[in-house]
Chains A and B, each alone.
Chain A
Amino acid sequence: MPITARTMRPRRTAGTIFLAGAVVLALSACGVTSAKNTEAAVGGPIENLQVMIPNAPGSGYDVTGRAAVKVMDDLDLATGTEVTNLAGAGGTVGLARTLTETGNANFLLMMGLGVVGAAYTNEGDAKVADATPIAGLIEEAGAIFVAADSPYQTIDDLVTAWKADPSTFAVGGGSSPGGPDHLLPMQLADAVGIDPTAVNYVAYDGGGELLPAILGGKLQFGASGYGEFLEQVKSGDLRVLAVTSEERVPVIDAPTLTEEGIDLVFTNWRGLLAAPGLTDAEIARLVDAVTAMHDSPEWKQVLEDNSWTDAFITGDDFSTFLTEQDTRVADVLKTLGLV
């Protein structure tokens, strides 16, 4: 099966072979191949799986994608796996690239709400609907972060000050317009009666750039996934005013927005897409491998370590979910008057 798949897809380019070679060489040079032989999926492991991360190393997509790859490798669900980071345009560059891999059954793209949003706002030709949905993996609620010395002690304090003069109230997030960190403050503004078009949103290139701006008091507040800055919250450098999940998050001592009387629940999610033009059998093989990965205790540990919520869906359910999300982004941006 994998052999036919390989002959069908466009010729492999030198760099890919070389990268794969470098990894293989490196692995064998060290004698540290993942030789743990657990129950392999039906049809054997997926050989030379390529996983594309549409963002820089260290980003949320990267952490999720690499964690998934590691579990798949450890369980021998995939061998010779090669992870590629292809950042750009909020993930649409990676998405566009995935769409050129038509018929490549060994290719996965890590993606999430941000890619859906960016694909929508960029108005490019790359659409999430053109790729093959494989599985939704995790969900992560957002949180409202302020620096330890911020005058705002509660979300109420913050909202009062924000309402007074939204245009000079700098709000930051780690996503470009259309991404989760952008949608969250916009929806929050709308929920508390601030015109979203008046919100002064400053886009940072991921959580790494956002953190010093919050710590240094350059922003009035930052919006991000609640897991992003857990350590800084634990040490007391950052304070969480509210989380956006339905229920409180055990690791964070902060109320939910709904508890504080703000009618907003917001979650970000991440999942996997495959290239277009796959046969049902090829799709089933990828879905089976990802399902086996999800069912493992190793993945449970990953979820726990990163404080992610399990949100596993596959196949048609995931397609429906993606369509809903596409509409959600469009609706949100439209009703808020942002497009």
Chain B
Amino acid sequence: MENLTLLMEGFGNALTLQNLLFALIGVLLGTAVGVLPGIGPAMTVALLLPLTYALDVTGALIMFAGIYYGGMYGGSTTSILLNTPGESSSVVTALEGNKMAKAGRGSQALATAAIGSFVAGTLATIALVFVAPFVVAIAIGLGAPSYFAMMVFAFVAVSTVLGSSRIRGLASLFIGLTIGLVGLDVTTGQPRLTFGQPLLSGGIDVVVIAVALFAVGEALWIAAHLRHGTPPTIPVGVPWMGKDDWKRSWKPWLRGTVIGFPFGAIPAGGAEIPTFLSYVTEKKLSKHPEQFGHGAIEGVAGPEAANNASAAGTLVPLLTLGLPTTATAAVMIAAFNQYGIPPGPLLFQTHPVLVWTLIASLFIGNTLLLALNLPLAPLWAKLLRIPRPYLYAGILFFATLGAYAADMQAFNIVLLLLLGALGYMARRFGFPVLPIIVGAILGPEMERQLRRALQISAGDPAALLSEPLAVVVYTVIVVFLVVPPVIKALRRRFGRGAGPTDGPPEEEFDAFGTQTSDGSARVIRAVRPSRRGK
């Protein structure tokens, strides 16, 4: 309860007309810069940080909070509208978000992202107020073995997004893993797959991979089919979320928050894995799994909430230990230093007023962000009314800009085009694109954690089971992998009489279902039992 009093005091400090103006400016600028592809939240905050220097500490903090959340949110807009993720944490948003936009539901996608970000940001900030010390005690106990276990878990979860053909899905995954290998080996400094090109020694930026596979690949695809006539302009439907959209969004928002917050709070968590896990979870739990891949609103609501909850989660180790877990948090440390507040374990004791003002500012920034973006969603969505050739020209322009801005390397544009060609080929031959990106994100991280765990233990593989969380995660994985086939086998043995309500096993349904429309999937469902009877 003492925290609550202090928080109210923080609101008292933050809520002046002048400060609200600063917050508004921060949110506007953060969104404006964050919306540009290739400029992730860390870069946005770093770019805009100098603006806050001229203000007093409270004003600076509140403007900073606005920039932070604005930058976090901005990335999802291009993901949804242009299929051009601005940073790795909004890659997953593009999957369903862009499909929704193409179906004329862009404003619904933007709205569920905005509200989801607000809900998750607010809940996670509340969690920050109350559970920070407990969470951080657990987080510090986690080491490489636990992280490795979580990566294994994420890889198991990948199996649900492999698409209609297992073989093609796995091929895609391995292409992604190979792309992830490019660069200097983290432990020994050996160059891998760099072909003597020094610019490859830092690896390939995930944003470049995602933008190339999504946006460039798609633009090439459209261009290749232009001789069949110009595709019609994308329709723009009703501007607001309908009752059904709300009904389908609120649970993913909450689940996304629950997934995102702890990942943000642990040192090697980040935002990519929780967005991806949230997507997989929503796909599993959805009543409309057949819509995934065609614009399911759950696939936007969940990952966007996870993304923002993870952003708030990173404040837990930052404020309680002075420990930055993401690049954005590291920039925040620099910011605190500029305000004369050394972030560290004593922060809550030495500068309670400032910390609570910052937390209050986060609430305010988050609210203003919603107030700003919700009305803007339908306006943004109208962007898609641009005739296709011009729209794709614009997308290619932004994709190129984003690839360049990610690293300031002209070489990235070459990579973008090469990977774009790969994206085109993937579409042409029916290889799913998502496993490529998942492989490129998870592969290097998994390798790093495995090698670190083994290095610390001097090569003893038993170390992988040395942490309780690792054991728990492996148990869950085994349950996941073993229980469904066992149940299936048991049903087959004892439950033959169950009849048509039984339905086909999920993989087989998937195998037919994902590429066909809603209707034909049903047809197959109806046909299945008779085939089994033979």
Tell me the complex Cα distance, A118–B191, Å: 13
Tell me the complex Cα distance, A176–B183, Å: 14
Cross-chain contact of A208 among B47, B144, B330, B455 (Cβ < 8 A): B330
B396 beta carbon closer than 8 Å to chain A = no
B345 touches A70 (CB 8 A): no
Residue of B nearest to A88 (CB): B202
- Contacts of B187 on A, CB cut-off 8 Å? 203
A230 touches B198 (CB 8 A): no
Which of A34, A58, A177, A305: most chain B CB closer than 10 A? A58
The smallest C-beta distance from A177 to any residue of chain B, in angstroms, reads 5
Tell me the complex Cα distance, A22–B46, Å: 12
Cross-chain contact of B202 among A70, A89, A200, A216 (Cβ < 8 A): A89
B477 beta carbon closer than 8 Å to chain A = no
A202 beta carbon closer than 8 Å to chain B = yes
Beyond A56-B330, A92-B198, A200-B458, whether A212 also contacts B409 by CB under 8 A is no
A237 beta carbon closer than 8 Å to chain B = yes
Cross-chain contact of A168 among B46, B51, B344, B458 (Cβ < 8 A): B458
Residues of chain A from 206 to 235 with CB closer than 8 A to chain B in the complex: 206, 208-209, 211-213, 215-216, 218-219, 230-232, 234-235
14 new A-B contacts, CB < 8 A, other than A168-B457, A216-B141, A235-B346, are: A15-B405, A29-B25, A32-B51, A57-B331, A88-B202, A96-B198, A124-B198, A124-B201, A170-B457, A177-B188, A218-B144, A232-B345, A237-B321, A237-B345
- Contacts of A87 on B, CB cut-off 8 Å? 202
Per-residue CB proximity of A146-189 to B under 8 Å, as 1/0? 00000000000000000000011010000011100000000000
B50 beta carbon closer than 8 Å to chain A = yes
Residue of B nearest to A306 (CB): B337
Tell me the complex Cα distance, A177–B189, Å: 7
Cross-chain contact of A83 among B29, B46, B202 (Cβ < 8 A): B46
- Contacts of B201 on A, CB cut-off 8 Å? 88-89, 92-93, 122, 124
Q: Which residues of B contact A (CB under 8 A)?
A: 25, 29, 33, 36, 38, 42-43, 45-48, 50-51, 53-55, 139-144, 183-184, 186-189, 191, 198-199, 201-203, 267-268, 317, 321-325, 327-331, 333-334, 337-338, 340, 342-347, 401, 404-405, 407-410, 452, 455-458
Would you give 21 A-B contacts (Cβ < 8 Å), ordered by A? A13-B410, A18-B36, A18-B401, A18-B405, A22-B33, A30-B25, A32-B54, A57-B330, A58-B330, A58-B333, A66-B334, A88-B201, A97-B408, A122-B201, A208-B324, A209-B268, A212-B140, A215-B323, A218-B143, A231-B322, A305-B340
Which of A57, A87, A211, A306: most chain B CB closer than 10 A? A57
A26 beta carbon closer than 8 Å to chain B = yes
Cross-chain contact of A232 among B198, B268, B321, B410 (Cβ < 8 A): B321
B184 touches A89 (CB 8 A): yes
A76 beta carbon closer than 8 Å to chain B = no
- Contacts of B324 on A, CB cut-off 8 Å? 58, 208
A291 beta carbon closer than 8 Å to chain B = no
Per-residue CB proximity of A64-85 to B under 8 Å, as 1/0? 0010001001000000000111
Residues of chain A from 1 to 41 with CB closer than 8 A to chain B in the complex: 13-16, 18-19, 22-23, 26-27, 29-30, 32, 34
Residue of A nearest to B46 (CB): A57
B267 touches A212 (CB 8 A): yes
A59 beta carbon closer than 8 Å to chain B = yes
Tell me the complex Cα distance, A85–B346, Å: 30
Residue of B nearest to A35 (CB): B54
Residue of B nearest to A201 (CB): B455
The smallest C-beta distance from B325 to any residue of chain A, in angstroms, reads 7
- Contacts of B43 on A, CB cut-off 8 Å? 57, 85
Total interface residues in chain A, CB < 8 Å = 69
Residue of B nearest to A27 (CB): B51
The smallest C-beta distance from A115 to any residue of chain B, in angstroms, reads 13
- Contacts of A237 on B, CB cut-off 8 Å? 321, 345
Which of A30, A70, A121, A205: most chain B CB closer than 10 A? A30
Residue of B nearest to A202 (CB): B455
Per-residue CB proximity of A288-308 to B under 8 Å, as 1/0? 000000000000000001100
- Contacts of B142 on A, CB cut-off 8 Å? 212, 216
Tell me the complex Cα distance, A208–B189, Å: 20
- Contacts of A26 on B, CB cut-off 8 Å? 29, 33, 47-48, 51
The smallest C-beta distance from A87 to any residue of chain B, in angstroms, reads 7
A232 touches B344 (CB 8 A): yes
B404 touches A58 (CB 8 A): no
Closest 9 pairs between A and B when the two form their complex, measured CB to CB: A58-B330, A231-B344, A88-B202, A235-B345, A212-B267, A15-B404, A32-B54, A89-B201, A168-B458
Beyond A18-B405, A121-B189, whether A93 also contacts B198 by CB under 8 A is yes
A305 touches B42 (CB 8 A): no
B46 touches A85 (CB 8 A): yes
Tell me the complex Cα distance, A110–B316, Å: 31
Residue of A nearest to B345 (CB): A235
Tell me the complex Cα distance, A232–B346, Å: 8
A62 beta carbon closer than 8 Å to chain B = yes
A262 beta carbon closer than 8 Å to chain B = no
- Contacts of A85 on B, CB cut-off 8 Å? 43, 46
